[in-house]
Amino acid sequence: MCGIAGFIDSKVTDGDKILSAMLEKIAHRGPDASRTFIKDDVYLGHNRLSIIDLSHDADQPMHLQHLTIIFNGEIYNYLELKTELQQAGHQFKTKSDTEVILHAYLKWGKDCVNRFMGMWAFAIWDQQQEELFCSRDRFGIKPFYYIHQSPAFYFGSEYKALKPSTLFSNNINTTQVSRGLQMGWTSYHDETYFNKLKALPAAHNLVFSRRDGTINISRYWNIHTGKYLSLTAEEKAGQFYQLFDESVRLHMRSDVAVGSCLSGGLDSSAIVSMVQHQQPGLPYDSFSIYYEGKGDVDERPFVKAVCDMFPSLQPHYFSPTDDDIREHFHHALYHADVPATGSSFISQYFLMKLIAQHKIKVVLDGQGVDEYLAGYNHTAYRMVADLLASFQWGKACSLTGKMAENLQLSATQTFAHFGKSFLSLLRSEQQLYSLEYKHYFPFLSTDDSIPFSLDKVPGNRTDNFLYHLMLDTSLPTLLQYEDRNSMAFSIESRVPFLDHRLVEFVFQLRNEDKANGIYTKWVMREALKDVMPQAIIERKDKKGFVTPGEVKWLRGALAHLTDADFSKLDFLNRKKIKTLMDEYKHGDNKHALLIWRLCTLAYWHKNFC
């Protein structure tokens, strides 16, 4: 895990100083070494966080024949690839996965990325072809931003790495601001909060040609939907177990200590339990955040259930106080790179801070599985709609009733739940999200178009919903915060549920394998029922990373944010905002989340643009 930055610009002066400034902006990503490569108009820089092969032989930029690489991430199957390459005659000088990428590129060219299992954002300068080959992993776990203004090309791991560039402009992308305010998305495809700053989309390669100053971007992988496996329930559970077991084994590869986030929920508990199952008695650190108070979430009893099952676990806890929130908010938002679309990123920030205090450099986390295994309650709308579409009205009503009982809905709320399911039967994902978007529309005053397009993919309504959660709506935002919060403390965060083979397998399962009645992630529960505590397997509630932020913090530790000055945000409807803010200050919490987004947008714009 590292920070990368670089550019190719024949017109630049003081290029070495610009590169140094870019690296300084992201020094937190790699405190163990910082190196550069400068030749003619090619400038490449790397800040290293040493995880695999701790020797300086593995420092970057790394060279092989006519190739030079800077790489952020981990290729978990690098040992298997290395063996294959050695059998083909390749000789290695280090024990690093970085050198494996270089040799893989020599042998297989740009197709090498199809063989990688891991997370990555890298750039390879090919002196012979005069091309910069860049790639980002399948789910966008690792970030890659760039500015292209022919004949120049600049790139880096974070927004802030590009700000020293001569091409950077802080002109705001109001379309992305709108998505952030109204949908909670921090990114969309190649767009960022700045007009000139682009993101390389997940599962894409980019080639910049120095000869003509052009870029070519192409997708190398996608999730395929609509084809279902004909396996028994036991076979499905067995295959899930096998794939998850292998993913965790690969994600545990490290030359430094590894720990785990542990919320007490199904996902993080599954990872910790599998690690302990694979290596019984392994001394292993887990880290948890909790809150105490009326209405706050404290999941320590579920964490304790995992610790009781595995006595070699060493749990660590932290509960942020109001003083902690007030003191660290600025630093957390600085590292986030974007306005905060929810308050849970603050909890994750303190979680990573706790991990760093215990000198752990690699941590496993449970991101991703909610998105493809129907972990969110609103997935039920699409599942009921699929039952209605196949004329299984009895099962549709039964599922609605079970959800209503589990969520403790009133009769009116239950009817509304069924109504949303019926709407999901009649409308596409694009239409459903457009309706949600228009609900908050008055806050932008210049454009009434819908700033996203969710194409229909093969398969049923649930497949379409989960596909877009993975690639468009939910996961990209979660991964943005995962990367920034962990790297703020020089920690490599790994996400075993995002092994692409596991994701591909689950997308070949039917709805009932993903959720069975009120139990979400059904195949996962069945696969791991002998590995995890029964209390976790039988959990019906879905807490997420719940914090008291949007109400309690904005009325307490962060109350000063509600006095934000919106005068410089002239693309917003300030009259409407004033009305909402006044209502909130007089005790109306109906739009608390939107108030949070508005306040943090104003703070971000004032302090970090």
Within its chain, how far is the Cα of 392 from the centroid?
A: 36
The DSSP call for residue 31 is B
Return all residues near 209 (Cβ < 8 A) that are at least 6 apart.
Answer: 130, 131, 215, 216
From the list 141, 248, 138, 140, the residue with the least C-alpha distance to 496 is 248
CB of 21 within 8 A of CB of 46? no
In the set 2, 134, 261, 307, the catalytic residue is 2
From the list 305, 273, 154, the residue with the least C-alpha distance to 527 is 273
CA-CA distance, 606 to 174, in Å (whole number)?
15
| Cβ count within 10 A of residue 167 | 17
Strands, sheet with 492-494, edge to edge from the N-terminal-most edge strand: 313-318, 284-289, 258-261, 362-364, 492-494
From the list 423, 378, 422, the residue with the least C-alpha distance to 396 is 422
**Is 397 one of the catalytic residues?**
no
Token duo for residue 303? 């964490």
How far from 334 is each of 23, 275, 328, 568, 600, CA to CA, in Å?
16, 34, 10, 20, 11
User: What's the 3-state SS for 170-230?
Assistant: CCECHHHHHHHHHHCCCCECCECCECCCEECCCCEEEEEECCCCCEEEEECCCCCCCCCCC
CA-CA distance, 557 to 541, in Å (whole number)?
29
CA-CA distance, 345 to 105, in Å (whole number)?
36
Catalytic site residues? 2
